Chain A
Amino acid sequence: MNRSPYISEAPSVSAIMFKVLLALVPGIATYVWVFGGGVLVTIALATATALAAEAVMLKIRKRPIQPFLLDFSAVVTAWLLALAIPPLAPWWLIVVGTLFAIVIAKQLYGGLGYNPFNPAMIGYAVLLISFPVLMTKWPAALQLAQFKLGFADQLHYIFGGLLPDQVKIDAVTSATPLDYLKTQLTLKHDVGSITQAPIFGALGGVGGEYVTAAYLLGGLYLWQQKIISWHLPTAFLGALATIAGVFWAINPAHFANPLFHLFSGASMLAAFFIITDPVSGPTTPKGKLYFAAGIGIITYLIRVYGGYPDGVAFAVIFMNICVPLIDAATQPRVFGHPK
């Protein structure tokens, strides 16, 4: 019988997913430091929901449960979704989003390896469309908030919707820089004066830019570990910076500078953790470049011209649709075939 090769050196799927989770830790730690511990509750809720949903679906689909729970792919989806939604949203929001991501976007398409769309982004898009108000109510960075919610206060708010006495919701939330910029621009203010607002930091938003930088750090670890290739982050950040740079060069009063775009919203999380989902992305090196650049450009266009402050989720979903085409159109030349 011929069953060679007899040897293998690949990390298991579990090991790959585990490293992705590990790479998220610096970002999460920074997140807690900047916005408080509420996000940990969201992450825990998402993880529990994802594992339970995955187990039930595997059972219904008569698939082995243990190996697929231990591959950690559901946990990765849960964490990414938890990091993408506002951390003080009511508990059921993340549960609904995770359920949709795991049950509909992943398991109903065949589970690990078969989902055409990024499950976390599907979950996010569903929540954003269904609950737009909740999904845009972000907490203020603790250093800026009029009232600093402690962990217990955040827990109360997530599970009961109750704030401490005499604290108004406006005292703990704030518009995100992307959101604020968008609304102020419609009021005919120019970028220079808008970014004087206290929520703007050196690069992106106060506090948020640190979280973004921590994602970048985790992403570089993934690259160093060869879990992701350079193609996707480089093309995404490059395209986003390029298109932002062109607009900014034409009219700096109306368009924010490229660095602001790179360090705001979900840019870094997307570059290293979201668009790098291998299952729903292209496989050819050239295809990865097109795919990521497409996401970068669409993200920018939605931020500037679209109805939402950030556009990563829709950009990813749109480019997911294009993956079969991209793969087919970017087949590399096989050895010995004409150039």
Chain B
Amino acid sequence: MNALVNFSKIFKAPEIFKFHGGVHPPENKTQSTQLPIGQLPLPEKLVLPLRQHVGNMPKIKVNVGDKVLKGQLLAEAEGAVSAAIHAPTSGTVTAIEDAIIPHPSGLPDRCITITPDGKDAWIGRKPIDWRNTDRKTLVASLRLSGIVGLGGATFPTQVKLRADGKSGVHTLIINAAECEPYITCDDMLMRERAEQIVKGIEIAQYLLGAEKAIIGIEDNKPEAAAAMQAATANTPMQVVVVPTLYPSGDARRLVHLVLGIEIPFDKRTTEAGLQVFNVATVLALHRYFDFGEPSINRIISMTGNVQKPQNFEVLFGTPLTHLVATAGGAKPETTHYIMGGPMMGFDLPTDDVPITKAANCIIAASPNLFAPPPPAMPCIRCARCADACPVNLQPQDLYWFAKADNFEKARDYKLFDCIECGACSYVCPSDIPLVQYYRYAKSEIIAIDKAKEAADIARERNDFRLARIEREKTERAARNAERAQNAKKETNKTDAPTLNSNIHAGSGEAPLANEDAAKAAKQAAIAAAIERAKAAKAAAGNTPKNVSDAPAEVKAEIAEIDARRASVGIATDEDKQAKIAAAIARAKAAKAAAEAAKKKE
């Protein structure tokens, strides 16, 4: 039976469905595939950013000074889209503070620092007998795994599997295209750990209920493809070798390549019964379910302008400098480091950053490798970008609209379908930084939409407020009328002697009562307002007593002292009130001083 399946697999080459455009950048992959995946000595410290994934920041579960074991939960997923963080080795939590993280923004974010104790002692690991556990339980347990998409998107994996066992996914596609130049971590992983990857695919298939699994590999990785062919020989999994063409590793492009299906722009792959996982991600699933190991490391290509480019298995939180040193150190002329590939990567703000889940490749950059781009020339509408665009957009038009801040038009021309792969910039004769223009336009449009939404909400609120005021007015009028009615009745009932006068007063009586009621209501409202104001004043508090007669200078001094007191206070909510009070005091003092000065004049 198996023999038959294999026979058909070998001789019936699967059809490849090409997508529009694409480019052939120089691969530069062989530099980092000369050596097997290497191991790093334990670094002196590990800095773990809490946000290494797409979604909410996880909740910290440890304190500074805590001893932790390898694999121990440091922070747990919070909210639907979030991922846990684990200790990559045993040691002590020595800091929980903001530090620069490897992100294009270059901004600091909260990190947990662990100082290893050198023992590398594991916490108790519990493999899960996943074949005999129901999917819901398994997917739920993934929240504790810390596994995210290791292809670079870092989307929490449990979210992609969150289907309660009825996902409707029939085909799992394993993304092993690795189309970006320089990056070889998936290549090496497949060459060396194909068996483990296949086990991971089985788990992912089980979790998704997907009958089919297709592994898509670019034809520039023959060793990896052969290894995967061999490892899948006795399985119904299909290895599809796709032509090398950037960006075939984009999920939608890969789906199209292997199945000929175009995922509609407004749908997720799951809605088409498909799910795409990166090879490294499924391997992480295998390590988690079959060995009880959470996500604490990954394979990363350390390449570019270093002495010995190589792939390493790196603990998350490892300082970049440690990785560079292990690769023989940076060659002279190294200017900085790029995280990711040369097509979609970004400049690291400094070399003092940790390796995170998103880091598939670090390239030491030098002017020789990546010459600074010449100044941009005007667009000559040659449409090479349109020929290169894998989404079949018209980049030259999008550029024109983005440059002119014509955001509506940019949206009309499907700006948001742009995957920012950089193929357009790669072929632009005028060296225009097209992707940067698209990112700018996208962020502006998003900001405008947000502002519009906020304005809509504000308008709604205002409408609601006006309606409420109107309603209260009518209600008050109704209440007053009622009260007047009651008053009239009462006078009629209890105060017989006034009857005459009432009669005398005639028709003027009712409005008069009404007026009284209105006055009373008004007074009550005023009293309430005064009360509120008083309360507010009390809350603002700290108004110095017995100083109302003090000279302006003294008042100013008091205010200043108050302000200083407030400013040295601990940053809490209480402090906010104090600050407000101080500000008020300062303003008062300034006013008083000004008045005093005027008087002196």
Contact residue range for chain A? 35 or more
Q: Which residues of A contact B387 (CB under 8 A)?
A: 229
Interface residues of B in 101-155 (CB under 8 A from A): 104, 106
**A10 and B395 alpha carbons, distance in the complex (Å):** 15
Select from chain A the residue with minimum beta-carbon distance to B369: A6
B224: A residues at CB distance < 8 A: none
Q: In the complex the two chains form, what is the Cα distance from A4 to B348 in whole Å?
A: 12
A5 touches B382 (CB 8 A): no
Which A residues touch B370, using CB under 8 A? 6-7
CB of B426 within 8 A of CB of A7, answer: yes
Residue of A nearest to B434 (CB): A5
CA distance A283 to B379 in the complex (A): 12
Once the chains bind, are B264 and A336 in contact (CB under 8 Å)? yes
Known: A278-B383, A336-B252, A336-B264. A8 touches B373 (CB 8 A): yes
- The interface-forming segment of A93-101, A106-114, A190-198, A262-270 is A106-114
The 4 nearest A-B residue pairs measured at CB:
A113-B378, A5-B422, A336-B265, A6-B370
B23 interface residue per 8 A CB criterion: yes
Q: Which of A136-144, A153-161, A210-218, A327-335 contacts B (4 or more CB under 8 A)?
A: A327-335
**Do A10 and B426 form a contact, CB below 8 Å, given A112-B377, A283-B396, A333-B392?**
yes
Contact B427 A6 (CB under 8 A): no
Chain B interface size, as a band, is: 35 or more
A36 at the interface (CB under 8 A from B): no
- Can you name 25 A-B residue pairings with CB atoms under 8 Å? A1-B104, A4-B343, A4-B422, A5-B425, A6-B370, A7-B181, A8-B428, A10-B426, A12-B377, A12-B431, A67-B377, A73-B380, A112-B377, A112-B378, A113-B377, A114-B378, A283-B386, A283-B396, A284-B386, A334-B393, A335-B19, A335-B20, A335-B265, A335-B390, A337-B265
Interface digits, A268-310 against B, CB 8 Å rule (1 contact, 0 not)? 0000000000110101100000000000000000000000000
Q: How far is the CA of A67 from the CA of B343 in the complex (A)?
A: 27
A62 adjacent to chain B (CB < 8 Å): no
Mask, B353-380, CB within 8 Å of A = 1, is 0000000000001000110011101111
Decide if B414 touches A337 in the complex (CB within 8 Å): yes
B543 contacts the other chain (Cβ, under 8 Å)? no
In the complex, the chain A residue whose C-beta lies closest to that of B103 is A2
- Taken residue by residue from 185 to 218, chain B's Cβ proximity to chain A (1 for < 8 Å, 0 otherwise) reads as 0000000000000000000000000000000000
Closest to A276 in B: B382
The answer, among A12, A112, A281, A336, for a CB contact under 8 Å with B262, is: A336
| Chain A residues near B (Cβ < 8 Å) | 1-13, 15-16, 67, 71, 73, 110-114, 229, 278-279, 281, 283-284, 327, 331-338
Residues of B within 8 A of A334 (CB): 265, 391-393, 414, 417
- Distance, CA A3 to CA B420, complexed state (A): 11
| Given contact pairs A10-B427, A13-B430, A67-B375, A4 touches B435 in the complex (Cβ within 8 A) | yes
Contact B347 A283 (CB under 8 A): no
Task: For A17, give the chain B residue with the smallest CB separation.
Answer: B380
Task: List chain B residues, Cβ under 8 A from A67.
Answer: 375, 377
- In whole angstroms, how far apart are the Cα atoms of A87 and B387 in the complex? 39
B283-328 CB contacts (< 8 Å) to partner A: none
B26 at the interface (CB under 8 A from A): yes
